[in-house]
Amino acid sequence: MRGTADLAVDFGSSTIRVTTRGKGVTLDIPSAIATRPGPKGPEVVAVGKQARRMLGRTGADIKVVRPVRGGVVVDFPMAEALLRYALKSAGARTLRRPRVMVAVPSGTTEVERRAIQEVVRAAGARDVLLVSTSMAAAIGAGIPVNEPSASLVVDVGGGRTDVGIVSLGGLVVRRGLQTAGAAFDAALVGWVRRNHNLLIGDATAEALKWRVGAAAQLAEVRTMRVRGRDLPTGAPREVDVDSHDTAEALHDPVTHIRTIVLDALREAPPEVAGDIHDRGLVLCGGGAALAALDRVLSDATHLPVLAPEFPEQCVINGAAALLDDPVLLERVAHVQ
């Protein structure tokens, strides 16, 4: 039967998660892999958390790669190596060439979908089923996707934001944008550089985003001291950055997300507008944790914004539910 699978994968730009049928989430690690040159090509020296800790701290002989960006494979050999490790660590070694379901961004091209399938097969899968991240996120958020009532789902991931209007097991509207968590980090790096002549690393920018980052001004100002390299002198230096600063820094990427959500609503058929008005907007993905993002989207759409308890887990939780429901999986697989 086509609508069955042994494992499901959410292979994101920042995190790779694997869930196994009957066991739940069995792996959750950063999508990073470190290699060094070897006699037969690159040799893997670290994956996941250990590889991420090496970012910006390695010599010229070690290269740290994030093989997926915006839901698209950008480094096939490293994506295969990372996925092979992930599948084995998640328990696939006990299965002989498992069937694997992969959540992919809505609106990806046929070439991009084929690349994902080829990577997963090269990593050891027998067959590959594709499900849209919007559909998986909706299921993981507890939305009854088979009902005729429509729901608006916004998934702000590490490298991409997906917006989908889900109804009757399909996507009525889908929109995608390669602006999400990584774009927030880049915006913070740029702001600190422009305003303080200080270069900070990606890890520092990510910490800044979660500790004092804000999509809009906050009533209670938060402050964080960041360290970096003084650009004129090259010497180490530190400065204080507060949530007012980060709201200014993140204005452009937040505006892009706001715009794509409004575009999706404008594209929606009139019949579903009432459903969305009643149900509100469901905000998923790791980026949903950015302070005041829910307020920005609520103000823009005039809709209540609902965030699940663990928004970063929505896609993989939805994938886990599909593994346990082959009838629904049969219906939604390949919905793009």
User: Is there a single domain that holds both residue 226 and residue 262?
Assistant: yes
Residues 153 and 296 placed together within one structural domain of the fold: yes
Q: Are residues 89 and 124 in the same domain?
A: yes
276 has pLDDT over 60: yes
Q: Are 92 and 115 found together in one domain?
A: yes
Q: Which residue has the higher pLDDT, 10 or 57?
A: 10
What's the domain range around 26? 7-31+66-135+315-332
Same structural domain for residues 24 and 157?
no
In contact, 112 and 84? CB cutoff 8 Å: no
According to DSSP, the residues that pair with 43 across neighbouring strands are 36
Sign of the dihedral through C-alpha 252, 254, 260, 263: negative
Q: How many domains does the chain have?
A: 2
pLDDT tens-digit map of 309-326 = 999 999 999 999 999 998
CA 278, CA 145: separation in Å to the nearest integer? 15
Residue (of 267, 274, 256, 258) closest to 173 by Cα position: 267
What's the whole-number average pLDDT of the chain?
Answer: 92
Say whether both 218 and 320 belong to one domain.
Answer: no
Is pTM, for the whole model, over 0.85? yes
User: pLDDT band at residue 22, thresholds of 50, 70 and 90?
Assistant: confident
Q: Which of 89-98, 185-194, 267-276 has the highest mean pLDDT?
A: 185-194
Token representation of residue 212: 């004092």
What pLDDT sits at residue 55?
84
Residue 96 banded pLDDT, cuts 50, 70, 90? confident
Verify that 219 and 293 share a domain, yes or no. Answer: yes
Among residues 151, 176, 173, 127, the alpha carbon closest in space to that of 13 is found at: 176
Q: What is the pLDDT of residues 109-129, one digit of tens each?
A: 899 999 999 999 999 999 999
SS3 letters across the chain: CCCCCCEEEEECCCEEEEEECCCEEEEEEECCEEEEEECCEEEEEEEHHHHHHCCCCCCCCCEEECCEECCEECCHHHHHHHHHHHHHHCCHHHCCCCEEEEEECCCCCHHHHHHHHHHHHHCCCCEEEEEEHHHHHHHHCCCCCCCCCCEEEEEECCCCEEEEEEECCEEEEEEEECCCHHHHHHHHHHHHHHHHCEECCHHHHHHHHHHHCECCCCCCCCEEEEEEEECCCCCEEEEEEEHHHHHHHCHHHHHHHHHHHHHHHHHCCHHHHHHHHHHCEEEECHHHHCECHHHHHHHHHCCCEECCCCHHHHHHHHHHHHHCCHHHHHHHCCCC
Report if residue 93 sits inside a domain. yes
The model's confidence at residue 334, banded by pLDDT at 50, 70 and 90, is low
Which residue has tokens 């928004």?
A: 311
pLDDT given at position 95: 61
At 246-266, the pLDDT tens digits run: 999 999 999 999 999 999 999
Answer whether residue 50 is part of any domain.
no
| 25-51 pLDDT per residue, tens | 889 999 999 999 999 888 999 999 999
Residue 43 included in any domain = no
- Per-residue confidence at 1, pLDDT binned at 50, 70, 90? very low
User: When comparing pLDDT for 56 and 151, which is higher?
Assistant: 151
CA-to-CA distance for 313 and 24, rounded, in angstroms? 11
CA angle, 316 then 163 then 318, to 5°: 20
Is 37 inside any structural domain?
no
225 with 162, same domain: the answer is yes
Residue 36 lies in a domain: no
Task: Report pLDDT digits (tens) over 200-215.
Answer: 999 999 999 999 999 9
Question: Poorest-confidence range of 41-45, 89-93, 96-100?
Answer: 89-93
128 and 193 part of one domain: no
Same domain, 194 and 293: yes
Residue 51 lies in a domain: no
The answer to the question of residue 94 being in a domain is: yes
CA atoms of 112 and 104, how far apart (whole Å): 9
Residue 41 falls inside a structural domain: no
Q: Mind listing the pLDDT tens digit for each residue in 124-181? A: 999 999 999 999 999 999 999 999 999 999 999 999 999 999 999 999 999 999 999 9
Question: Please, which pLDDT band fits residue 185 given cuts at 50, 70 and 90?
Answer: very high
User: What CATH number does residue 75 fall under?
Assistant: 3.30.420.40
Let me know whether 264 and 166 are in one domain. yes
Side-chain-side CA neighbours of 96 within 13 Å: the count stands at 0
Q: Are residues 119 and 252 in the same domain?
A: no
Between CA 88 and CA 105 the distance in angstroms is 24
Give the residue among 93, 82, 103 at the shortest CA–CA distance from 8: 103
